[in-house]
Amino acid sequence: MYSKDELKNLKLEFWESFAAFCEVQPYLKGRRKIWTLYNTKVKGVELKFDATRDGAFVILEVNHRIEEERLEMFERLTWYKETLEKDFPEGLIWDICFVRDTGKQVARIYTEKRGIDFHRRGDWGMFFTFMASQMFLLERNFMSIAEYLRE
């Protein structure tokens, strides 16, 4: 088990190492900003990474505070399911009611790689490879439809 400070330092080292990994990936070179993440310009829609003891996750999250708006945006995203899932032969996981650790309900569309553990440094290479390649695809597919989702 890690102490609170050790876990904080491990997370910091993980994300710094991931950033360094991304900087040297040929398919990410020349981008003004490596990832869009919170700056999708679509209200209530964000792209996220998550690394846990259960695996790696690349996420498109709909987090409108108002449930009606959240559900409406999720439905609008389903109209573009084929575009979003392009390059994902296994498809994506569509979860209309995901409950975060904080108890907040959001909708998520994501891909995952299970069986790797963020606490094992030996797994970090698998995390980095999966997260960078999958976010590149998800972000590209999302940005191709983003203008149709803007209000």
113 burial via Cβ count (<10 Å: 0-12, 13-18, 19+): middle
Instruction: Report whether 70 contacts 107 (CB < 8 A).
Output: yes
pLDDT at 95 over 90: yes
- Write the CB contacts of 125 (distance below 8 Å, at least 6 apart in sequence): none
- HSE-CB at 62 with a 13 A cutoff on CA atoms is 23
Whole-angstrom Cα distance, residue 72 to residue 94? Answer: 14
Give the 3-state secondary structure of residue 148: helix
Instruction: Report whether 99 contacts 54 (CB < 8 A).
Output: no
Write out the two tokens for 73: 């945006």
Express each pLDDT in 9-48 by its tens digit.
999 999 999 999 999 999 998 887 889 999 999 999 999 9
Write out the two tokens for 41: 């310009």
Q: How confident is the model at residue 151 (pLDDT cuts 50, 70, 90)?
A: low
Reported pTM: 0.93
Express each pLDDT in 33-91 by its tens digit.
889 999 999 999 999 999 999 999 999 999 999 999 999 999 999 999 999 999 999 99
The mean of the pLDDT values for the chain is 95
Closest C-alpha to 51, from 86, 13, 90, 89: 13
